[in-house]
């Protein structure tokens, strides 16, 4: 109770938690308030579960050790008790990025908020789509990172540069053809 600053007694346990299968230990929302994070334990099956928006994201059993070995109910209760004694609120609400991505398809941004990567226009092409996180996309790298230190308006157009080169090559080709014609015509006088 030191973490939660509540003065609950052993006698009140059944009143506070009538369902031993769902004993809530932590509840919070993301910084933007759009997603709920819950953590609960179950004394029925000796397990813990973490939810995001009431959907299971992570689950573990105290009947199974980290090495995957099965333990009896007594050992499971000891492990559960140790977890309660040594864990704190921040550990209960910390969501694993891999689990969040696998279960809900969400990512975590720098502020700790969850977002759907398909709903953000990360490559700045004006359309939120599946190519936003694709480094092979034509302008993903340049739109995501400031490569040359220039503002978008200061950057030279690649197509414009190609057009200038094309015109220059065409002009040089025409000049060299004109020179060849002049040399041919010199001997004809």
* DSSP characters over 67-90: TS-B--HHHHHHHHHHHHHH--HH
The answer to whether residue 137 is domain-embedded is no
Residue 169: inside a domain: yes
Domain membership of residue 74 as a residue range: 10-97
Q: How many domains does the chain have?
A: 2
Answer yes or no: is 142 within a domain: no
10 Å Cβ neighbour count for 67?
Answer: 5
Query: 92 and 164: one domain?
Result: no
The answer to whether position 53 is within a domain reads yes
Per-residue pLDDT of the chain (189 residues; tens, 9 = 90+): 344 556 667 677 777 777 788 888 889 999 999 999 999 999 899 999 999 999 999 999 988 877 777 778 888 888 889 988 898 899 999 999 999 999 998 988 888 889 887 776 666 666 666 565 555 555 555 555 555 555 555 666 778 888 888 888 888 887 776 676 666 666 555
Look at the block and give the residue holding tokens 């995001």: 52
Tokens of 130: 């599946």
What pTM value is reported for the model? 0.58
The residue out of 58, 78, 97 marking a domain boundary is 97
Residue 85 sits in the same domain as residue 16: yes
């Amino acid at each position: 109770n030191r973490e939660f600053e509540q003065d609950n007694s052993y006698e009140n346990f059944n009143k506070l938690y009538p369902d031993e299968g769902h004993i809530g230990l932590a509840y919070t929302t993301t910084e933007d308030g759009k997603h709920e994070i819950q953590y609960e334990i179950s004394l029925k099956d000796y397990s813990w579960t973490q939810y995001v928006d009431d959907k299971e994201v992570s689950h573990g059993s105290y009947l199974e050790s980290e090495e995957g070995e099965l333990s009896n109910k007594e050992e499971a209760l000891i492990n559960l008790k140790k977890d309660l004694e040594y864990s704190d609120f921040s550990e209960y609400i910390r969501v694993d990025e891999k689990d969040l991505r696998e279960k809900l398809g969400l990512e975590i941004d720098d502020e700790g908020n969850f977002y759907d990567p398909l709903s953000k226009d990360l490559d700045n092409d004006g359309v939120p789509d599946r190519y936003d996180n694709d480094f092979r996309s034509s302008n993903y790298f340049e739109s995501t990172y400031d490569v040359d230190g220039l503002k978008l308006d200061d950057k030279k157009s690649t197509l414009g540069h190609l057009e200038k080169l094309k015109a220059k090559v065409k002009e040089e080709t025409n000049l060299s053809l004109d020179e060849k014609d002049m040399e041919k015509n010199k001997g004809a006088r």
